Structure 1
């Protein structure tokens, strides 16, 4: 089977790890764009020499409550993504070590990426209890994908 020139019977799961890293970085770049676009006149632009120090300057920048919330949530989404990335990468490696089928590895990896992107979008735009709960659902669905790889790999290696 092929899709856009890719043979889907090939194992593409390892490519999902760098894609997940890029997806993890994206909220940080979004946060910087919010900061620079919304900061008060006369306040400093984002200084890449001290990225962690900049986070403390958000209040000084006098961002609107909406922009400040998006900035803080985008940074939190980035941190969460990087906390989950090693577990996803380890699960992909375990699945490959156990020689799970390419379709299982590809589908599960794609689902993880889908849920991480959905989680990030919902997290950044979260302003209601419903969206907060939906964020948790997308988070847990993403966790379930990499956990399923560990379980399938373990079952195959028994």
Structure 2
């Protein structure tokens, strides 16, 4: 695993890229949910009603999309606050990359119906955010 972290540079663009990827993830999951559910152009006049009727993997992909939107503000705020309070950039980058990796695993676990793995990765992804906030507070004193 240390080889993975050796690949992460200590420049701010890594954190910015992770924020962009995390912001795109809910949209990608929404498209996947619609593709899995057989969403067609005719369904676009009432998309929420159609998506609400999805079952199985399509419904789980939609739920992963909704949760990704819900956790996104916490992640974005934690990265920005950590950078504003001069948490070492390499630490911000490690935690931001870990958050994105965990969110990807979370989405896969949700879609393929692995609830324990889903819960673990959700918890760990949120821990990354709270660790960034904690480090920012430590830097403020």
State yes or no: 1:20 paired with 2:30. no
* Higher helix proportion: 2
Inter-CA distance 7–33: structure 2 relative to 1 (3 Å threshold): closer
Distance 1:49 1:101 in 2: 48
Indicate the structure (1 or 2) with the bigger Cα radius of gyration. Answer: 1
Counterpart for residue 35 of structure 1: 37
Distance 1:78 1:125 in 2: 14
Q: How does 1:118-137 map to 2 (within 5 A)?
A: 118-126=105-113, 131-137=114-120
Q: CA deviation digits over 1:54-80, x for unaligned, max 9?
A: 22444xxxxxxxxx2111111110000
Q: For the aligned residues, what is the CA RMSD?
A: 1.9
1:15 positional shift: 2.3
CA contact (8 A) 1:111 1:145 kept: yes
CA contact (8 A) 1:77 1:123 kept: yes
State yes or no: 1:71 paired with 2:54. no
State yes or no: 1:100 paired with 2:83. no
1:19 positional shift: 0.7
Runs ≥4 in structure 1, deviation > 6 angstroms? none
Q: How does 1:39-118 map to 2 (within 5 A)?
A: 47-58=43-54, 68-118=55-105
Distance 1:56 1:138 in 2: 25
Inter-CA distance 117–77: structure 2 relative to 1 (3 Å threshold): same
Q: CA deviation digits over 1:47-100, x for unaligned, max 9?
A: 223221222444xxxxxxxxx211111111000000000000000011011011
Q: CA deviation digits over 1:82-139, x for unaligned, max 9?
A: 000000000001101101111111111000000000000000100xxxx211110010
CA contact (8 A) 2:34 2:51 kept: no
Distance 2:33 2:52 in 1: 13
TM-score (norm 1): 0.78
Structure 2 gap ranges (5+): 1-6
Counterpart for residue 40 of structure 1: none
